[in-house]
């Protein structure tokens, strides 16, 4: 079933109006026809099962504006969305090449709510403001595509590139803050952290770039309540570390929600 994201202004009187690039994709690429079922998610994370009624090339709106659209009737509002029961933010050290595209895709599938590219001391890649914004737009499109594929109810937000100190400040109010660090020893810290992955608790995860965290960055993070943890005896690539931690968080939160675990 094809999946589209819309804002609340595109839903009115039991109908959904798909416009813009989504309209072109639905009509000219997917060739949707009347009677076909589609899934619609709005910006509040509500999911609607809809039935396509018609594709309209032009319609007058506001007197003189013509907007092509695909019109679909809402047949069911689904009660359970496909989001994790807690906000999970990924603060990702900027990696080389197109690795961040893979990380964004997989992090979206695993349920993150926000992804923040972070400039750290050991990052090889350096982006000026214009290049960073062009990249962010592409990264946001990748997140949207992955959200559609995985039937997410929301699209993760890709934040502008920021410095490590700014990222630490942004995470101050999170209930759980983790930093996987290759020099940390013993798995006990990670086991302790897993217990604290509970519904309604905001979780922040800091992942270093290929060169890892600088010791001063780790110290700064720990001074602001971030817990350094080990992911085991092997050194993981930056993209593997992100996927490993987010997988643990996803599974723990899903189990906690289904089994009714509550925060003490």
Is 108 domain-assigned?
yes
Domain that residue 112 falls in: 88-259
Per-residue confidence in pLDDT tens, the chain, 264 aa: 899 999 989 999 999 999 999 999 999 999 999 999 999 999 889 999 999 999 888 755 554 456 899 999 999 999 888 899 999 999 999 999 899 999 999 999 999 999 999 999 999 988 888 899 999 999 999 999 999 999 999 999 999 999 999 999 999 999 999 999 988 888 888 998 898 898 989 999 999 999 999 999 999 999 999 999 999 999 999 999 999 999 999 999 999 988 876 554
Q: Do 151 and 180 have their domain in common?
A: yes
Q: Do 143 and 111 have their domain in common?
A: yes
Q: Are 205 and 246 spatial neighbours (Cβ–Cβ below 8 Å)?
A: yes
Q: What is the CATH number of the domain that holds 69?
A: 2.40.240.20
Q: Do 139 and 243 have their domain in common?
A: yes
Q: Do 37 and 143 have their domain in common?
A: no
Torsion sign (Cα): 122, 128, 147, 9: positive
Q: Do 27 and 96 have their domain in common?
A: no
Task: Provide the pLDDT for residue 44.
Answer: 87
User: Under DSSP, is residue 248 helix (H, G, I), strand (E, B) or coil?
Assistant: helix
Is 27 domain-assigned?
yes
Is 83 domain-assigned?
no
The pairing of beta strand 2-5 with beta strand 65-66 = unpaired
pTM for the model stands at 0.89
Q: Of 29, 55, 78, which marks where a domain is finished?
A: 78
Q: Do 116 and 15 have their domain in common?
A: no
Residue 229 has which token pair?
Answer: 């943890």
Q: Are 135 and 103 spatial neighbours (Cβ–Cβ below 8 Å)?
A: no
Q: Do 148 and 243 have their domain in common?
A: yes
Number of domains in the chain: 2
Is 197 domain-assigned?
yes
Is 148 domain-assigned?
yes
Q: Do 151 and 98 have their domain in common?
A: yes
Is 264 domain-assigned?
no
Q: Are 48 and 77 spatial neighbours (Cβ–Cβ below 8 Å)?
A: yes
Q: Do 116 and 146 have their domain in common?
A: yes
Cα–Cα distance measured from residue 260 to residue 256, given in angstroms and rounded to the nearest whole number? 6
Cα–Cα distance measured from residue 130 to residue 161, given in angstroms and rounded to the nearest whole number? 11
Q: What is the CATH number of the domain that holds 122?
A: 3.40.1280.10
Q: Do 30 and 96 have their domain in common?
A: no
Q: Do 96 and 60 have their domain in common?
A: no
């Amino acid at each position: 079933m094809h999946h589209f994201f819309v804002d609340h202004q595109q839903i009115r009187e039991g109908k959904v109006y798909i416009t813009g690039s989504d309209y072109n994709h639905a009509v000219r690429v997917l060739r949707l026809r009347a009677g076909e079922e589609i899934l619609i998610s709005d910006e509040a994370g509500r999911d609607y099962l809809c039935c396509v009624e018609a594709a309209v090339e032009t319609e007058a709106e506001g007197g003189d504006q013509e907007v092509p659209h695909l019109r679909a009737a809402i047949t069911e509002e689904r009660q359970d969305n496909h989001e994790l029961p807690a906000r999970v933010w990924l603060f990702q050290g900027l990696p080389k090449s197109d690795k961040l595209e893979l990380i964004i895709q997989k992090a979206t599938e695993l349920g993150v709510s926000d992804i923040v590219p972070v400039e750290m001391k050991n990052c090889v890649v350096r982006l000026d403001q214009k290049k960073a914004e062009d990249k962010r737009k592409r990264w946001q499109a990748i997140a949207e595509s992955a959200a559609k594929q995985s039937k997410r109810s929301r699209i993760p937000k890709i934040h502008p590139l920021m410095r490590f100190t700014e990222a630490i400040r942004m995470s101050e109010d999170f209930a759980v803050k983790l930093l996987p660090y290759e020099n940390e020893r013993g798995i006990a810290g990670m086991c302790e952290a897993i217990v604290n992955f509970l519904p309604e608790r905001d979780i922040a995860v800091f992942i270093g770039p290929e060169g890892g965290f600088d010791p001063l960055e780790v110290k700064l993070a720990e001074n602001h309540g971030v817990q350094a943890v080990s992911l085991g005896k092997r050194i993981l690539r930056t993209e593997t570390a992100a996927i490993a931690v987010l997988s643990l968080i996803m599974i723990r939160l899903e189990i906690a929600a289904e089994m009714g675990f509550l925060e003490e």
